[in-house]
Amino acid sequence: MSYTRTSLLAAMALVAGTTGTALLVGQAGAATSAVPCTVDYKVQSQWDTGFTAAVTLTNNAAAKSSWTVKWSYAGNQKVTNGWNGKITQNGADVTVANEGYNGNLASGGSVSFGFNGAYSGTNSVPATFTLDGVTCNVDGGGPTDPGPTDPGPTDPGTPSGKANNPYTGAKVYVNPEWSAKAAAEPGGSKIANQPTAVWLDRIAAINGVKGGMGLRAHLDEALKQKGSGELVVQVVIYDLPGRDCAALASNGELGPNDIDKYKSQYIDPIVSILSESKYAGLRIATVIEPDSLPNLVTNAGGTPTTTDACVTMKGNGNYEKGVSYALDKLGAIPNVYNYIDAAHHGWLGWDSNLGPAVQQFHKVATTNGASVKDVAGFIVNTANYSPTKEPHYKVTDTVGGQTIRQSKWVDWNQYVDEQSFAQAMRDKLVAAGFDSGLGMLIDTSRNGWGGSARPSGPGPQTTVDGYVDGSRIDRRIHAGNWCNQSGAGIGERPTAAPAAGIDAYVWVKPPGESDGNSAPIPNDEGKGFDRMCDPTYGGNPRNGNNPTGSLPNSPLAGQWFSAQFQQLVRNAYPPLS
């Protein structure tokens, strides 16, 4: 497919008989200051009945506190939905006004918005654009008319132009901030070059906290790492109202009713940045709100694990509204791949939990503006410790004619590891109406369970408990334990397409970042003290009233925990070399 870049003045020059490169005015130096504004209109992907466009507006006049862009189509194009701007259309005339969060436009500043559209026939770039009534020069364009059967520039098999698996054939972004911390630890240089996710766990993280890198800085660094190939950037979307209603350590800054603030001050600014045209060549994998929807399934009423906070969040619907909104807005960006968090086998592995979870996932993906097309896949084991595969026993094993499912550890679960759970969940999700190309991710950052405590083979064939306890590489006291687990190790290294239905093994939870504080710590992040992070606590119904198995002297969730990192390196499996 060929691409052209056109401008109004370039078109005029060509009419006058100029050949060769198009003349682009308003790009630099004195010429720029004479041009009041420029508009870069790109058709990013196009198929037989629709297209996706990205528009970048640059203001070269006096600073503005609000703005309105207008253009007219020569054909029958219709805008169907958009982001980062209030878009209206009357016949061929389109008007785009700023949102509340992106109205300020400095002199020399730029703002980007985008939209999906429908058309038939040709899809030519509009000839003239205005900013607040003043005509702009156009530096932009898009693909030449690809014809009615060309599905788009990236992946011939998908109308949206997205790859079936974004990790295939791509590098994955190495966060330089995490890499530097890892390299400074004993043995850390062996994994400091591994890719980890960027967590946006509060509004301030979008622009960077205490001098740290913000989202744009990470994306700019990703462009440097990308080179001429493909690169995936992993971003965790994690700031729902009333966040993590069942674990105080990961509570957040927004109150239970702050859904409008979540949309306008958190999701919308992220969407604005990810939509910028200079990042269109990156593949951006988003992990959508860890633990939120699973909490609605198991902790929001009628069970021993119910919490008042989860009952509140189920009642007000703000987890569902927030996730749907994120899916809708992020899914509309052509190079974004949304993966919804789906807990782990030790949480949802029972049929009584897995069926309702699939129904819950489908509900949020088909309401409040979201569509199953906004979902690239799901992720399991985020920031958890469940093994990818248990090598020494299977859920179908028996001892003395008794199923090992009745052992205290398995407790009638249908799964004993994450890969079998992820593959089974994928089948159920597709059967429920999700796309047949759905992919699963498994967070393997801390589930290796190596070291001297790792069994080398199956346990004794004495009792079901003796067999399972002697076989399992997961050495936790209880599968419900989740905070800074003693004995854990680095797991499988990030790998693309490691098994059927699995898009990748990933390190979403950066090794060395705490799960939560082991004692109360005052903070301004909304994070509380959860006794599940206290090694002296005797447990609760969510972990069968067992000890927590957590490490002592741990800092707030997300902060660097050197002792944990060094343990993870020592117990890595496969071992580090």
Active site residues: 291, 515
Burial zone of 275 (CB within 10 Å; 0-12 exposed, 13-18 middle, 19+ buried): buried
Say how far apart CA 108 and CA 43 lie, in whole Å: 24
Q: Identify the H or E element spanning 182.
A: helix 176-183
b/e per residue 33-72 (b: at least 16 CB within 10 A)? eebbbbbbbbbbbbbeebbbbbbbbbbbeeebeebebbbe
Dihedral (CA of 355, 361, 365, 367) sign: positive
CA dist 69 to 59, 132, 140, 141, Å? 11, 6, 15, 17
Contact between 459 and 470 (Cβ < 8 Å): yes
Q: 418-431 and 351-364 are packed helices; what angle lies between their axes, rounded to 10 degrees? A: 50
Q: What is the DSSP pairing of strand 230-237 with strand 170-172?
A: parallel
Give the DSSP letter of residue 250: G
Q: Which residues pair with 499 in a beta bridge?
A: 502
Give the phi and the psi of residue 200 in degrees, each rounded to 5: -100, 85
Within 8 A by CB and 6+ apart from 70, the residues are 93, 94, 95, 96, 129, 130
CA angle 420, 421, 423 (to 5 degrees): 65
Q: How many CB atoms lie within 10 A of CB 187?
A: 15
Structure tokens at 343: 């807990």
Say how far apart CA 291 and CA 399 lie, in whole Å: 35
Contact between 476 and 376 (Cβ < 8 Å): no
In angstroms, the first-to-last Cα distance of the chain is: 44
